[in-house]
C-alpha cells in the first residue's frame, strides 16, 4: 500500500486530535452543568439532582435526551436564516478557543506562537452569534437582551485583555506553553515584587472580568429573569437551545482553563514532571477551582444595575488594569527575570564528579590537587583498594580558594571540575568548608564548565618540533 503524502497525514492527525478534543469538551461541559447544580445546592442546603442514576450522575444525559426530543419551534415572524444560523455561529468560537490550550507539555491541538492572541480574538466572536440570536428571533425581549450583552461584553473585553497580557509581559512570550513553563517555580498569582501585590490584584481583576464576560451574576443583565425572561435565547427550544447552552458553558470552561494557565501555574504540581497525565490532572483541578470560584460568586451576590455595571468597567476596571499592566512593564524593565548567560570560561564552584558509565567516583586520591594548590585549601586522604584507589576524605576550604584552576589542570582523571555557577551564599563561614559528599552534590546540581583538566593541559602543551623534511605541525 503506498504511503500517504505528508500533507494528508498531517490532516488526518489534526482531524483525529480535534475530534477527540471536541468530544472530551462536550462530555466535560455536560457534567460541569451537574457540578454547578450540585455546588449551588450545597451552598443553599439542598440536595440537587439526585434521582436519575446513582446520586444523580445520569442527570446530564437525561437532560440531553430531553432536549433532543423537544419540538423545534420557530417564531412565525422570525428571520429564519439568521435565527437558525445563530446557535452555530455562537457555538463555533466557544469550541475553537480550546485549539490553542496546552493541557500538558506536548498535549494539545496546536501550540501557536500567538496562542493568547488567538484565544482572546476568537473568544470575543461569540457576541456575533449572540446578537444574531436576539435579532433573528424578532422578539423585543430577545433584542434588548442581545443589545445589553453586546454592550457589556465589549465594555469588559478591554480590561480582560489588559489583565491577560500581564503574564505575557512577565514571560516575554505569547505562546501559552511558554507562559505555563515560566510558572514552574512560582505561579504568577503570588508574584509580588517590591511588596506590591501585582499578581493577586491581576488575578482578582481577571475573575471580575470573567464574571462580566460570561454574563454571570452579578453581571447577568442580559437575562434578568424578572425583565427579559430567558434573554436572547427566549425563542429557542430543543437542540438549538442545547447548542447555545453548550457554547455558554464551553466558553466558561475555556476561560477557567485560561485563568488557571495564566495565574495558577497550569500543570505545575507534584509528580507533574513524571507524566503528562499528572500534568493534565493538575491543570483540570486548577481550572475547576476557577470555575467553582466564579460559581460561588454567582450564587452569593445579587444582580446590579446596568449603569453600575458600565461604571465598574469604564471607571474602575479599565484604569486599574492599565495601571497593573504598566506597573508590570516597569518592574520587568527595571528587574528582568531572565537569567544571565555566562561565558564558556566562567570560573565558579569546584565540584567532584562520578564516572558516567560505572557510577564510581572519579577521584583516585592521588593528592596532586593538594600539592599544586597555592593557598593549600585542599586536603585529600587516599584509600587503597585492590583494583583502584579512592579518596577516603576530600575537603575544600572554599572561603580561601583563589579559583586559579590549577587543581583542575593537574587532575589526571578529571575528577575535580569547575562549574559555571557560584550560587552559594551564607552567613556562616563553616558552611563554606565542603566535604566530599557536598562536592559531589554540587557536581550533580550545577552545569559544569567545558574546561576540564585534559582540555586545559592540551591547550598548554608546547607545540611539537617539526619533522625533518616535513611541514611544521
Concatenated DSSP letters for 83-116? HHHHHHHHHHHHHHGGGG--SBTTBSS---TTHH
**Structural domains of the chain, ranges and CATH numbers in brackets:** 70-334 (no CATH), 350-460 (3.30.70.3270)
Average pLDDT of span 225-250: 81
Whether the CB-CB separation of 253 and 291 falls below 8 Å is answered with yes
| Residue-level pLDDT at 263 | 92
Q: Over the stretch 374-390, which tens digit does the pLDDT of each residue have?
A: 989 999 998 888 788 88
Q: Over the stretch 314-355, which tens digit does the pLDDT of each residue have?
A: 999 999 999 999 999 888 887 655 555 555 555 678 889 888
Backbone angles phi, psi at 79, to 5 degrees: -80, 100
Q: Sorting pLDDT into bands at 50, 70 and 90, what band is 466?
A: low
Q: How many CB atoms lie within 10 A of CB 43?
A: 13
Whether the CB-CB separation of 31 and 60 falls below 8 Å is answered with yes
Classified as helix, coil or strand, 299 is coil
Q: Sorting pLDDT into bands at 50, 70 and 90, what band is 473?
A: very low
Backbone angles phi, psi at 221, to 5 degrees: -70, -15
Backbone angles phi, psi at 361, to 5 degrees: -70, 135
Separation CA 43–CA 327 (nearest Å) = 38
Which residue in this structure is represented by grid cell 472580568? Answer: 209
Q: Sorting pLDDT into bands at 50, 70 and 90, what band is 465?
A: low
| Residue-level pLDDT at 225 | 59
Whether a cis peptide bond, with omega within 30° of 0, leads into 397 is no
pTM of the model: 0.68
> According to the per-residue pLDDT averaged within each range, which of 222-231, 252-261, 449-458 is highest?
252-261
Bridge partners, residue 433, by sequence: 397
Which residue in this structure is represented by grid cell 437582551? Answer: 145
| Residue-level pLDDT at 5 | 77
Q: Is the pLDDT of residue 418 over 60?
A: yes
Would you list the DSSP string of 122-140?
HHTTHHHHHHHHHHHTT-H
| Residue-level pLDDT at 255 | 93
Whether the CB-CB separation of 405 and 347 falls below 8 Å is answered with yes
| Residue-level pLDDT at 20 | 83
Alpha-carbon distance values, 381 to 359, 391, 393 (Å): 21, 6, 5
| Residue-level pLDDT at 202 | 92
Q: Work out whether strand 390-397 and strand 350-352 pair parallel, antiparallel, or are unpaired.
A: unpaired
Whether the CB-CB separation of 97 and 110 falls below 8 Å is answered with no
Amino acid at each position: 500500500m503506498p504511503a500517504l503524502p505528508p500533507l494528508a497525514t498531517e490532516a488526518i492527525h489534526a482531524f483525529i486530535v480535534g475530534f477527540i478534543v471536541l468530544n472530551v469538551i462536550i462530555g466535560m461541559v455536560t457534567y460541569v452543568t451537574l457540578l454547578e447544580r450540585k455546588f449551588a445546592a450545597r451552598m443553599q442546603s439542598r440536595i440537587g439532582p439526585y434521582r436519575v442514576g446513582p446520586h444523580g450522575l445520569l442527570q446530564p444525559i437525561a437532560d440531553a435526551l430531553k432536549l433532543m426530543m423537544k419540538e423545534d419551534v420557530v417564531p412565525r415572524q422570525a428571520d429564519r436564516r439568521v435565527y437558525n444560523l445563530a446557535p452555530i455561529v455562537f457555538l463555533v468560537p466557544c469550541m475553537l478557543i480550546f485549539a490553542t490550550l496546552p493541557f500538558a507539555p506536548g498535549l494539545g491541538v496546536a501550540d501557536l506562537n500567538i496562542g493568547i492572541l488567538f484565544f482572546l480574538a476568537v473568544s470575543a466572536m461569540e457576541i456575533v452569534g449572540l446578537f444574531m440570536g436576539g435579532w433573528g428571533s424578532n422578539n423585543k425581549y430577545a433584542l434588548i437582551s442581545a443589545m445589553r450583552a453586546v454592550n457589556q461584553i465589549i465594555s469588559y473585553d478591554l480590561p480582560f485583555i489588559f489583565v491577560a497580557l500581564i503574564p505575557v509581559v512577565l514571560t516575554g512570550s505569547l505562546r501559552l506553553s511558554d507562559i505555563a513553563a515560566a510558572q514552574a517555580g512560582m505561579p504568577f498569582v503570588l508574584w509580588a515584587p517590591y511588596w506590591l501585590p501585582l499578581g493577586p490584584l491581576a488575578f482578582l481583576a481577571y475573575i471580575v472580568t470573567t464574571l462580566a464576560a460570561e454574563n454571570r451574576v452579578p453581571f447577568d443583565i442580559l437575562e434578568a429573569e424578572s425583565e427579559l425572561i430567558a434573554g436572547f435565547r427566549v425563542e429557542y427550544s430543543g437542540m438549538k437551545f442545547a447548542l447555545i447552552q453548550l457554547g455558554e458553558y464551553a466558553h466558561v470552561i475555556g476561560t477557567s482553563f485560561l485563568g488557571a494557565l495564566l495565574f495558577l501555574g497550569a500543570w505545575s504540581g507534584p509528580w507533574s514532571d513524571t507524566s503528562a497525565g499528572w500534568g493534565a490532572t493538575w491543570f483540570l483541578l486548577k481550572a475547576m477551582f476557577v470555575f467553582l470560584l466564579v460559581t460561588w460568586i454567582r450564587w452569593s451576590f445579587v444582580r446590579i444595575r446596568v449603569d453600575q455595571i458600565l461604571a465598574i468597567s469604564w471607571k474602575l476596571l479599565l484604569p486599574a488594569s492599565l495601571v497593573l499592566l504598566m506597573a508590570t512593564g516597569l518592574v520587568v524593565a527595571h528587574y528582568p527575570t531572565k537569567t544571565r548567560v555566562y561565558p564558556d570560561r566562567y570560573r565558579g564552584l569546584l565540584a567532584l564528579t562520578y564516572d558516567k558509565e560505572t557510577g564510581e567516583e572519579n577521584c583516585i586520591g592521588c593528592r596532586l590537587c593538594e600539592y599544586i594548590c597555592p593557598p593549600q585549601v585542599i586536603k585529600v586522604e587516599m584509600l587503597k583498594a585492590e583494583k583502584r584507589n579512592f579518596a577516603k576524605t576530600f575537603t575544600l576550604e572554599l572561603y580561601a580558594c583563589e579559583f586559579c584552576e590549577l587543581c583542575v589542570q593537574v587532575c589526571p582523571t578529571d575528577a575535580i571540575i569547575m562549574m559555571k555557577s557560584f550560587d552559594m551564599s551564607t552567613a556562616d563561614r563553616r558552611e563554606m568548608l565542603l566535604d566530599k559528599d557536598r562536592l559531589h552534590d554540587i557536581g550533580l546540581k550545577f552545569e559544569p564548565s567545558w574546561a576540564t583538566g585534559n582540555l586545559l593541559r592540551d591547550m598548554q602543551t608546547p607545540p611539537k618540533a617539526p619533522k625533518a623534511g616535513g611541514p611544521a605541525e
